[in-house]
Chains A and B, each alone.
Chain A
Amino acid sequence: MRLFDLIEENPSLLLVMQHFDFDFRVGDLTVSQLCKEKGINENLFISIANLYNGFKPKENPIDSVDDVKQIVRFLKNSHDYYRNDKYPQINTYIKQLQENHPEKELKLLERFFNEYFAEVIDHLDYEDNVAFPYFIEFLGNRDNPKSNAYSAQEYSEHHTDIELKIKDIKNLLLKYVSINDDLNLRRKLLFSLCELEYDLYIHSLIEETILIPFGYNMEKA
């Protein structure tokens, strides 16, 4: 199947491609051709793309050490997307909204978002600096896995549902905080929140249904 057709069907595939470091100019290449060209397990790519289409994989698509590295790279790239694209964008919108409207609730909303953002950065840093290196290192020392103090269990416990507060902000804007007009800005903010919420959701699905179960299996082996 051509990527071009798949993108037309679900444009959020562009985000999957970006997280996999694919270029968007896909021409007439099929998924299979592109994955081969990029050296990525086709099954892995399809499983993750399917998560964005609402389907969970039946089996763990991780096949090799290289697949784990690809997933970690995918997750790290999505961290960059949150850090450098989505959060600054939402921050700008909330700031702008707060400047346009004197309601004090918006001042609180901005503060709420900033505190939340700081928490998210902590979480992303933790994953980048502690959890992901574990998976990579663990795979390099498969003969002596116990040498590493860290475990998938610990990773799974530390893994918090960071999308919950995004939902709160969205619900506050849709149900409670009253703001007059400014529909363009408010729509842009809500769209951004929904996009972020969705990607965070898929992000935790990848961690919970693919990466963590794989870690458990390896530790048991």
Chain B
Amino acid sequence: MNRQRLHIAIMVHSQIIYEGLHAVLSRSDIDCIICKVDSLQDLEDILLSRKVDLLIINPLLLVNREKDVKRIRKSHPHFSIVGIHLGIVDNHSLALLDSSFTIFDTAEQVLSRLQKTGTGGELKFPSNDDNLTERELDVLTQLVHGYSNKEIADSLNISIHTVVTHRKNIATKTGIRSQSGLTIYAITKKIIQIEDVDLQSH
């Protein structure tokens, strides 16, 4: 499937290691497109016109490049970095990586590491908000703040009947029916802040 195709950039100076990684990846069942980059600047240029999911890099090439990495991550939040350790690495560079492997790992170990990092990225982001409409979100917010159907109807300038319909739709979409349950739902979805809820009251 096209959607799962991984776009991998490799940044190592050793031709042997680049060819080796290329061979391991090409022989695997990972559906991927590989390109070679020579510098972070090179990578940024490519990112302007093409998608890159994963950068495999010798972490030594990241020394003193913290700012560049942060800038790239900020403009490409789905992007992951995996280090290939050829020797001793400083902690600063390690901290910039999502994951890593060494040149002594087996092909399977390398692939499993890459797959987990490359495809797991999407999990970092919440799924869409159960498709609640703007109006349903308004009703939900007032509801978890303890307003009655009548109060909600008055403040949103709609009929009580419409409020009830919105509430039914919210329950169907979220699978949560009680007010307390919806409060927890609204917090996990960041629709309201936890500070809005009085934790002390009983």
Q: How many residues of A contact B (CB 8 A)?
A: 20
Among B175, B180, B188, B197, the residue within 8 A (CB) of A178 is B188
Q: A interface, by DSSP: helix, strand, loop or mixed?
A: helix
9 CB < 8 A contacts A-B: A112-B180, A112-B183, A164-B177, A167-B175, A169-B181, A172-B185, A175-B175, A176-B188, A178-B188
| Chain B interface residues (CB < 8 Å from chain A) | 174-178, 180-181, 183-185, 187-189, 194, 197, 199, 202
Question: What residues of B have a CB within 8 angstroms of the CB of A107 in the complex?
Answer: 199
Within the complex, the shortest CB–CB distance from B194 to chain A, in Å, comes to 5
Q: Are A171 and B199 in contact (CB under 8 A)?
A: no
The number of residue pairs between A and B whose CB atoms lie closer than 8 Å in the complex comes to 60
Q: Are A104 and B199 in contact (CB under 8 A)?
A: yes
Question: What residues of B have a CB within 8 angstroms of the CB of A172 in the complex?
Answer: 176, 181, 184-185, 188
Within the complex, the shortest CB–CB distance from A175 to chain B, in Å, comes to 7
Among A115, A164, A167, A177, the residue within 8 A (CB) of B184 is A177
Within the complex, the shortest CB–CB distance from A64 to chain B, in Å, comes to 39
Question: What residues of B have a CB within 8 angstroms of the CB of A40 in the complex?
Answer: none
Question: What residues of A have a CB within 8 angstroms of the CB of B176 in the complex?
Answer: 168, 171-172
A108 in contact (CB, < 8 A): yes
Q: Which residue of B lies closest to A165 (CB)?
A: B178
Q: Which residue of A lies closest to B187 (CB)?
A: A105
Besides A112-B180, A165-B181, 6 other CB < 8 A contacts?
A115-B180, A165-B178, A167-B177, A168-B178, A175-B175, A176-B188
A17 in contact (CB, < 8 A): no
A177 to B180, CA, bound (A): 14
A109 in contact (CB, < 8 A): yes
A178 to B178, CA, bound (A): 20
Residue-wise, chain A 162-203 has the 8 Å CB interface mask toward B (1 for contact) of 001101110110011110000000000000000000000000
A126 to B183, CA, bound (A): 28
Within the complex, the shortest CB–CB distance from B104 to chain A, in Å, comes to 29
Q: Are B181 and A104 in contact (CB under 8 A)?
A: no
Within the complex, the shortest CB–CB distance from B52 to chain A, in Å, comes to 28
A175 to B194, CA, bound (A): 18
Question: What residues of A have a CB within 8 angstroms of the CB of B189 in the complex?
Answer: 176
